[in-house]
Structure 1
Amino acid sequence: MNADVSSPREVPRNPVPGPHNWQADASAQTLPCLLDQPGALLTSSGRAAILLGLESLALAPGQRVLVPSYHCPTMVSPVLTLGHELGFYPIDADGRPSLAWLEQQAPADTRVLCVAHFFGLPLDLRDLRAWCQRRGVLMLEDCAHAMFGQGAGGAVGALGDVAIASLPKFFAAQDGGLLLVRQPARPVAALQAVGWKSQLKASLDAVEISARYGRLGHWGLWARPLLALKGLLRGRRPVAPSSAPQPAQFDPASDYARIDVKLCHRAPTRAATRAALQTSRGRVIARRQQHYRAMAQALAHQAGMRPLFPALSEHSAPYVFPLWVDDPDPAYQALRTLGVPVSRWDWLWPGVPDLAGDQGKIWSRHVLQLHCHQDMSDEDRNWVINALLTYRKS
């Protein structure tokens, strides 16, 4: 595992398009997948799925949606876009909503509880489901991190009145989400078709990413003229992901949080749909599990850092590997500058309160999310591990 970390390395942050995604894997492990749920609807994005799901519940004015204190802003913006009241609840050390807080302090006007399977690790939501039923609250099960898997309470997405997921987090798709609504109060309107220009752009984007990481194989020859044409039309080279420092404060009016309601009512592109439905799932599951376990073993017992959840169930397909870092701010920026595919949910929505016993605001600073998708090679993974170990020793 002696990977050279003296210079940046281009490790893909997300699954890479290409013919390798369709290779047979009949002997590989399979897990419950939200794509197989009856009534699953593919949407333009995960945030669109949240918005459409909330619309289908036909909430009355003044009713409240509770979201976890640990969140991505895209979980919050659909709530506010639709004009609902917003509230936050604390999470326990295992990532589950604090049932004690909900029992004692949940606002009386709460109508929807949004519960997330963080990092792709399935939670047992049976007691939360029972609380919702006692209180007349609807459960929105956020499976953006958990397209696959099952826990003690059953398959992910099985208990929510609404379940949502995100295609790009698990498949080589540049857009797309998934929505599942059980007994909607208002039917989900038919989604608008994607125009041919957007369809063509999505397909060319996929080819370009595949070529960038050498995944076109013998299709590379015919792809070159298409990529040359795309470059000519664009008039400039693609911009690499920025490693510049992020702004210290989150701006709710930024593009990152803004909701395009019209786009939310549009279907996903054909390229995204094909990536989700035709990908061989066994490889997705197996490689993510391998990367997660290798990271857990290598990063255990290290000074200043520890795996947040060292053990990985064989019934889960992780989205990322969560790593606790004692002094996270300099580490996060150093890793980003080096090119390590790492994220952090340090951009919480303004107004998240300090709640007794809450791990959410603590996680938002101290937990780094290391990408561990199927298109990272063993060399990529070992380079990421060594980057962390090298930083720790510096």
Structure 2
Amino acid sequence: MVPAARSAAGLINTTGDWPMKPTASTLEYQRFDPASCGFPRPFAPLLPAFRWSALSLGGGDAPDPALFEGPGVRHFSRGRYALHEAYRSAGVGPAGALLAPAYHCRTMMDPALALGGAVRFYDIGSDLTPDLDSIRALLAAPGVAARALVLPHYFGVEQPAALVDQLAALCAAHGMALVEDCSHAWQLAARRAPAARTQAGRAVVASPYKFFACEDGGVLWSAAVPSSPPASSGMLDELRALKRAWERSRLARQAGPPLPLPQAGRLEFGTVVAESGALPSPLYERACEQQASLGLSRWVMRRTRLTPLIRRRREHYQQWNAAVAGLRGARALFPELAPDCVPYMFPLEINMPNPSFFLLKQAGLPIWRWDDMAVSGSEVAARYRTHLLHLPCHQDLTREQMRWMTSLVAEVLA
């Protein structure tokens, strides 16, 4: 059991005596609550915003249309609901468990909990690769048989091909589906999709809104996908989405003055909350399980020019690499990009979250981190929950925004 972390404000227990012995489907969580911190609105957008100039209205340099239609593909409003269908098709539920990585976003597990399935966590290395011995141990343990294993390609970085092959063979031997979570890796999903649409026991899931400048989107490619499509959005929903896209685009370009760094001694460090339960998180809406993505989103996906998008993401990632090289307070998790890698965000491991994370957030730096996570016993996951920052490198960031962000990080973590 990983000991509960503590913030300056302490740890709040919302479940009585903690830790508690979980049931088959009950999980324990540690969740960071920033309510007392008063973080300002980020100075730059975390995700891309809509721009007409990013589109190829004639169809050139856009994704292959075959990715979006035909047998073995379904569209959902979010990747988590595509995962729900992948898990359901594999048999996850009261009689089938899910194997998930110890370092995770809650939305990887929420669909399994919505299906009434148990979740068991396999360990990962410091490079976020699965620990095969940990997986074998879970498969050998008594209890409900596992029916699916979810494998994320974190930050757009492809898991080693030999390791994926080993996992596929292990899953096949145990009657499990291998679900590749490409929510961070659209281009990898595009390469994997054709095989997933015809190969039993394999599924690929993507979250296009993290790659394209669209309002929503989740895609599942699988031979097990039924022909009945999810419910389409109405015209009012489409118009509201168009309004949100315009507003996000406008806000993304309203670069107000950067905020000064606060004094470390005056920072609020929030609260760590201990919870337990067997239900999905508030991020999961059961009513959306059969909701298709917006027509507007699919229109943007089909018409986005890929070449400048890929070039800018890689350039921004390399700018981050150059800015953090040699810093004493941090290290790049993946300092090298494969030639075909299109990154989602730049993962940066910091030595001291208190105060570094809070200084950066109070200065308006856009940061994500997975600090709402199930307790698993993994030392790597326990550390990365608070020490691994997700920094934006998407195509819509301006030169000024990148210069400000990289300079700020270099100053705080020097």
TM-score (norm 1): 0.80
Number of equivalences? 352
Residue in 2 aligned with 1:205? 244
Alpha-carbon distance in 2 for matches of 1:245, 1:316: 35
* Change in 2 beyond 3 A, CA 1:56/1:30: closer
* Change in 2 beyond 3 A, CA 1:307/1:50: same
Residue in 2 aligned with 1:4? none
Task: Choose from 273, 277, 293 the match for 2:318.
Answer: 293
Q: CA deviation at 1:362?
A: 2.1
Alpha-carbon distance in 1 for matches of 2:98, 2:413: 41
> Is 2:147 aligned against 1:111?
yes
Q: CA deviation at 1:45?
A: 0.6
> Is 2:339 aligned against 1:314?
yes
Task: Choose from 374, 378, 381 the match for 1:360.
Answer: 381
* 1:29-68 → structure 2 map (5 Å cutoff): 39-59=72-92, 61-68=94-101
Residue in 2 aligned with 1:325? 350
Alpha-carbon distance in 1 for matches of 2:333, 2:66: 25
CA contact (8 A) 1:284 1:374 kept: yes
Task: Choose from 114, 117, 130 the match for 1:81.
Answer: 114
* Deviation by residue 1:113-150 (Cα, 9 ceiling, x = unmatched): 11100111011211111111122211111110111138
Residue in 1 aligned with 2:27? none
User: Structure 1 unaligned runs (5+)?
Assistant: 1-6, 216-242
CA contact (8 A) 2:360 2:408 kept: yes
Residue in 2 aligned with 1:95? 128
* Deviation by residue 1:55-100 (Cα, 9 ceiling, x = unmatched): 2334463211011110011111111011011111101222121112
Q: CA deviation at 1:329?
A: 3.5
State the AA in 1 paired with 2:170: W
CA contact (8 A) 2:78 2:216 kept: yes
> Is 2:197 aligned against 1:172?
no
Alpha-carbon distance in 2 for matches of 1:247, 1:190: 42
State the AA in 1 paired with 2:377: D
* Change in 2 beyond 3 A, CA 1:198/1:244: farther
State the AA in 1 paired with 2:206: A
Task: Choose from 181, 201, 223 the match for 2:222.
Answer: 181
Alpha-carbon distance in 2 for matches of 1:28, 1:332: 39
Q: CA deviation at 1:258?
A: 4.2
CA contact (8 A) 2:59 2:303 kept: no
State the AA in 1 paired with 2:366: P
Alpha-carbon distance in 1 for matches of 2:123, 2:100: 9
> Is 2:269 aligned against 1:248?
no
Alpha-carbon distance in 1 for matches of 2:60, 2:283: 43
* Change in 2 beyond 3 A, CA 1:25/1:205: same
CA contact (8 A) 2:349 2:388 kept: yes
Alpha-carbon distance in 1 for matches of 2:413, 2:67: 39
Alpha-carbon distance in 2 for matches of 1:32, 1:91: 35
CA contact (8 A) 1:33 1:147 kept: no
State the AA in 2 paired with 1:374: Q
Matched residue SS, 2:413: helix
| RMSD value, Cα | 3.2
Task: Choose from 166, 170, 180 the match for 1:127.
Answer: 166
State the AA in 2 paired with 1:319: Y
* Change in 2 beyond 3 A, CA 1:188/1:164: farther
Task: Choose from 176, 201, 216 the match for 1:137.
Answer: 176
Moved more, 326-335 or 41-50: 326-335
Residue in 1 aligned with 2:361? 336
CA contact (8 A) 1:63 1:110 kept: yes
Task: Choose from 394, 402, 406 the match for 1:381.
Answer: 402
* Change in 2 beyond 3 A, CA 1:137/1:274: same
Q: CA deviation at 1:346?
A: 1.5
Alpha-carbon distance in 1 for matches of 2:193, 2:43: 32
Alpha-carbon distance in 2 for matches of 1:255, 1:127: 30
> Is 2:386 aligned against 1:345?
no
Alpha-carbon distance in 1 for matches of 2:338, 2:66: 16
* 1:228-247 → structure 2 map (5 Å cutoff): 247=271
State the AA in 2 paired with 1:176: G
State the AA in 1 paired with 2:154: F
Residue in 1 aligned with 2:307? 282
Alpha-carbon distance in 1 for matches of 2:53, 2:236: 26
Residue in 2 aligned with 1:237? none
CA contact (8 A) 1:141 1:157 kept: no
* Change in 2 beyond 3 A, CA 1:194/1:31: closer
CA contact (8 A) 1:117 1:143 kept: yes
Moved more, 327-336 or 123-132: 327-336
User: Structure 2 unaligned runs (5+)?
Assistant: 1-39, 255-266
State the AA in 1 paired with 2:364: G
Task: Choose from 282, 291, 307 the match for 1:257.
Answer: 282
